[in-house]
Structure formats: C-alpha cells, structure tokens
Amino acid sequence: MVALTFPDGARREFPNGITGFDIAKGISPSLAKRTVAMALDGTVADLNDPIDHDAQIEFINRDDPRALELIRHDAAHVLAEAVQTLWPGTQVTIGPVIENGFYYDFFRNEPFTPEDFEAIEKKMREIIARDKPFTKEVWDREKTKQVFRDKGEAFKVELVDAIPGTEPIKIYYQGDWFDLCRGPHMTSTGKVGNAFKLMKVAGAYWRGDSKNPMLTRIYGTAFAKQEELDAYLKQMEEAEKRDHRRLGRELDLFHFQEEGPGVVFWHAKGWTLFQTIIAYMRRRLAIDYDEVNAPQMLDKSLWETSGHWQWYRENMFAAQSAGDEAEDKRWFAIKPMNCPGHVLIFKHGLKSYRDLPIRLAEFGIVHRYEPSGAMHGLMRVRGFTQDDAHIFCTEDQLADECLKINDLILSTYSDFGFDGELTVKLSTRPEKRVGSDAAWDHAEAVMADVLKRIAAANNRIKTSINPGEGAFYGPKFEYVLRDAIGRDWQCGTTQVDFNLPERFGAFYIDADGAKKTPVMVHRAICGSLERFTGILLEHYAGHMPLWLAPQQAMVATITSDGDDYAKEVLAAARAAGLRAGIDLRNEKINYKVREHSLAKIPALLVVGKKEAAERTVSIRRLGKEGQQVLPLDAALKMLADEAVPPDMKRAKI
C-alpha cells in the first residue's frame, strides 16, 4: 500500500502501483476528465504513472500555471508529427520548452520558411482534434537505436547514446507517431488546445557545433487560452516596435559591426544617454561608497587564485604582448568581473573591525566571451560596463547592508520609471558549494529575514524562493523589474560570498585582536549598464523622460526672419543646462516638427518673427497635441526644472 496526502490534508491509502488517473476517476469522473497531469511531492508526472511510494499528491488541470509547460511541450511533439506527416523523410532532433514557448529542430535538405507555417498549423490542428492519448513505453537501449536507424533518424540514435546508462529510455506515442522523450506529458493531444502559433524559423547547428549539420529550428508558442495568446502576440508586436536595435539606428545612438563583435560603437547622442545614466548612479553612490578602479588586465595567476581560470576560462579573453621580441610574454586575462581587483584593494593596508563596512564601487568595463548566436544588441554583449560594488562587512552587519542595498535598488528603479510590479527572489544553497553549512545557515537566515522585511515594507513587491539556485559561493537576491509592456527583466543582484576573501587571504582585525575573514557582498543595481540602457529604450519606446533624453530640446525656425532670435534662444537654453540643438534649415515648419518628433526630441521650441518680437517661444511636446506659448524665461525655467534628475530634485526638497 501507498499513503497519499491530498492538498486538503486528507491522507488515504491505495494499492501499490495505482495510477493518478485511477485515483482521480475514483474521486469523480469529472475530475479525471479535467485533470491533465499530477504532481507527486511537487514534481509533475504523467497522470497514468504508477505510484509506488508515499507522497503528497496534487491533480493538475489545464488552468494550473504548471500545465503551461506541459501544453508547450506537447505542442512541440504535435509540431514534429505535423512536419513529418507533411514532409516525409524529415528528421526530428530535439524540441524543448523555452521561455514563452517551444521550438523543434529539423534536418531537411531544403530549410523550412515562414511560408510553410500555414500548412503546418493546419496539420497540427488536425492532430489535436484527433485527441490521441499520450502513452509511454520504456524500451531497451539497443532496440531503440535500431528502431530509429530503420526510420533513418540518425540524430535520434546519437541522442540515445547520450542518455546516461542509468536512465530509462522513454518513448511517448500519440497515436501511431512516437518520439524519444523524458516526459512528462498531458493525457492526450487534444489537451494542447488551439491557442498556439508558429513564430519564426532560424538556423541552428546540431548540438550547437558549427562542424555539425545545419538544422532548421521552428519556434512556436502556446497558451491555455486564446485570450492569453492574443495578449502575448500583441505584446510581441509592441516589443518589435520598441526594439532597442531599431531605435539605436533610427535615433543615431549606437551601432555594431563585424570588426568589433559584441562591443558597442556609441554615437554622440547614445553616449550622452549612457553617461547620463552613469552620472545618476555616481551621485547615488557618493554618500555611502568609495569609487575605485581596478586594472583592465591582470596576470592569469590572479585569476587562478580567484578560481576563474579553472571554472570560468571559456568565458574569458586573454592577451599577451603582440611583439615577437617582447621581454614580458606572460598571459594576462582581460577582467570578466571586478571582484578580485576589489579584494586586492581591500587587502592594501591593515583593516580593523572599526573600519567596516567598507563599500567599494566601480563602473568597470568587463569582457566576457559570448557565442555569436547568443549576442543580442545591447542586451547581450562581450564588452560591457558593470555598476557593481563589493561590501566588506562583519556577519552582524550583513542584514543592514542587504536592506540598505534593497532601498538603493528600489529607489533607483523608481527614478528610472519602473513603478510597476517588482519581484525579489532568494536563491539558496546549491548542491555544489563552498563554505560551511553553519555559514550558509547564518547567511540564508539573515537573507530570509531581510526578504520578509522587504515584502512587508512595499505591497508592489513580490518575493519568492529559488531553492538550490544560489551561486556556489553564497546565497543571493535577484531583482526582477517589469517594463511598460509587461516584460520581466532581471537586473539587480545581491550576493553573499564565502569564497573569494578566503582565497585571497583577506582579513580584518576583530575586537579581540584576532584575524577574521570579512563577509563579502557583491551587488549590482542595473547590472550591465549597456543592457540597462537597452531596457530603458524599450521601456520608453525611445521617448525618454526629459532628464534622460540625449537631446532635450530643439530650437526650430518658421522662417529665416527668426534665425537671430533662434540663436539667442539656443544660447539661453544651454545656459539653463538644457541639452539643446538648433534647426535653421529652409524647410517648412511641419517638416521640421515631423523630423524631430521621429527623432524623439521631447521639446520643440518653435520661433518666428512674431516670437522674436514678443520674446516668446511656442513649445510643442512630443506625443502631445497642440502647443504652449510662453515668455522665453518662463519656458526655459519650466523645462530646466523638468530636466532635473529625480535624485537631485529630492536633494533640493
């Protein structure tokens, strides 16, 4: 017998080997009908799996958030069957669930194109309408390989070879069609529903190796309900309009080119925006942090000490003298992060417990190798600027430091216009880690308490625990903000480190005169400032608030009669601290208005003969109808006040 505990706390015994379906049917036929899977001790499993141990059991229907991954997983299988039905001889490889959808990789002499989607989706709907059950079989390894060899599925044979010998070989049928899969699946293809859509195709090398054959990857998405799919597609449409790469081109902010893969060529306006963000962060840090700068290149021995050379080398760039006759031919690593340099700065000179906490901040440029396929505009680059800092403190100071960091992160996000939902996740000890259990217990207890206090202080903050997702060197907080169109972005982090100070022999003298290793806290507010700039551009669709806008105002003339006055207005605007330009071209004013609106300039100061005589300006605001006529001094004061960064406004209050 097995004892199963239900969500309401009830505990019942059942014969060993009973299935979840039999239990559900025994409770109610309607429950069995609407249930698509079960969870045993929190792990999702096939509803028809036999249960051979005591467990907590839950029944999962299509509306359960946990079912979404199953819907997408099953949709990938339906996609594969549809493709092989329409184009016999096509080989299927892998089809995992990913964020916001799924994909499946296919091998075919002629790659698929979006023009094939209509036929594929039609066939998928036919398969779903048949509502064939998903049934699982466990096969012998050699039998499996032979079956796939006979089918001409060479990639599947490779996949079988890659499965550890201890794992069973699972085959899932949906009618006559079958696939190699770990599972789990829902009860039948009909449960997928029709709220799905194929999105795009891309090329992908088998197993990500350019030496292997090129496959066609078909991406799709699926949801439990049509309205959820519609909302997602609308979000994607809006995201495309807001794509920071497109805005970068249209607004002349930055570009990328092959000679510098994964590094940004900032244009004047883009660099102004970037430096405005850094200037804001620098002001916010000035009260509590000491800004430092560690070298860009350091001998690889330092990175061996830190552990990066052993564990992170594939993500690092290395350099040595290009001269053949150079005296020094040592290998240097271009820093992928700032933390080892900050430990060395902390170590320079004897530290007392009275000196702690010591907070070292740096806008350090770091380089990390990213595969070419992973790079994505500003969001994923090889060279970027981190706004990270490292705090060296005592164990007793850890909670206060985490709360102080939290306040800084939240107010920073609010200043940049992220006032919506925000999630703080606590990631706890992974299986492979450094540091004693006692140290982990203490750090996790402190951070769990901090998490409770964060949640209690602000009702727009959601909190969650990610068990086992901490770094190997300590637990961490992850801050996830939500943008204007509902997308989530993980930006800020707070990480406790038991590893690095000890590796470098960093210590302070405690009150009892003994040497003691400090607690080291890594923290980032924006993370990669390049990525954060990209997030901001998409959040605002390029229409930045006045304080952030690279060009805040443009003086434009109606006729040449206003040229002299326009130059006066420009000089006065710049004297008022505004980033302003001037347009004296012999073009119609409507043309100028349209052009500068497309350039996302927040304020257009229109002047002509009448304005010159009255010493006024006609202000047109981006995204607003009509215009406002004000005396020049009043107009500039209004704009200059609006252009004051939020942190400086608070300082004036």
Q: How many other C-beta atoms lie within 10 A of the C-beta of residue 66?
A: 14
Tokens of 368: 């990390």
State the DSSP H helix or E strand holding residue 547, giving kind and residue range, or none if neither. Answer: none
Rounded-to-integer distance, Cα 195 and Cα 524, Å: 39
The one catalytic residue among 62, 367, 390, 600: 390
Q: For this structure, is 267 an active site residue?
A: no
Query: Whose CA is closest to 425, among 483, 492, 473?
Result: 492
What is the distance of C-alpha 513 from the center of its chain? 45
Rounded-to-integer distance, Cα 453 and Cα 356, Å: 24
Q: For this structure, is 284 an active site residue?
A: no
Rounded-to-integer distance, Cα 217 and Cα 83, Å: 12
The one catalytic residue among 388, 415, 483, 583: 388
The one catalytic residue among 77, 368, 429, 600: 368
Tokens of 29: 């036929």
Write the CA distances from 161 to 142, 146, 570, integer angstroms. Answer: 10, 12, 71
Place of tokens 């903000």: 481
Query: Whose CA is closest to 526, among 244, 329, 276?
Result: 276
Q: Are 320 and 330 in contact (CB under 8 A)?
A: yes
The one catalytic residue among 197, 433, 482, 522: 522
The one catalytic residue among 339, 402, 491, 526: 339
The one catalytic residue among 84, 91, 174, 386: 386
Question: Crossing angle, helix 632-642 and helix 563-575, to 10 degrees?
Answer: 40
Question: Crossing angle, helix 529-539 and helix 268-285, to 10 degrees?
Answer: 110
Q: Which residues pair with 170 in a beta bridge?
A: 138
Q: For this structure, is 320 an active site residue?
A: no
Place of tokens 């400032």: 529
The one catalytic residue among 170, 425, 476, 592: 476
Query: Whose CA is closest to 517, among 390, 347, 388?
Result: 347
Burial class (CB in 10 A: 0-12, 13-18, 19+), 309: middle
Q: How many other C-beta atoms lie within 10 A of the C-beta of residue 341?
A: 22
What is the distance of C-alpha 544 from the center of its chain? 21
HSE on the CB side for 343, CA within 13 Å?
Answer: 24
Write the CA distances from 122 to 86, 89, 128, 198, 484, integer angstroms. Answer: 11, 20, 10, 11, 34
Q: For this structure, is 386 an active site residue?
A: yes
Q: Which 3 state secondary structure label does DSSP give 576?
A: coil
Place of tokens 């002001």: 283
Q: For this structure, is 388 an active site residue?
A: yes
Query: Whose CA is closest to 389, among 357, 414, 413?
Result: 357
CA torsion, ordered 580, 584, 589, 590, to nearest 10 deg: -70
Which residues are marked as active site? Answer: 339, 368, 386, 388, 390, 476, 522
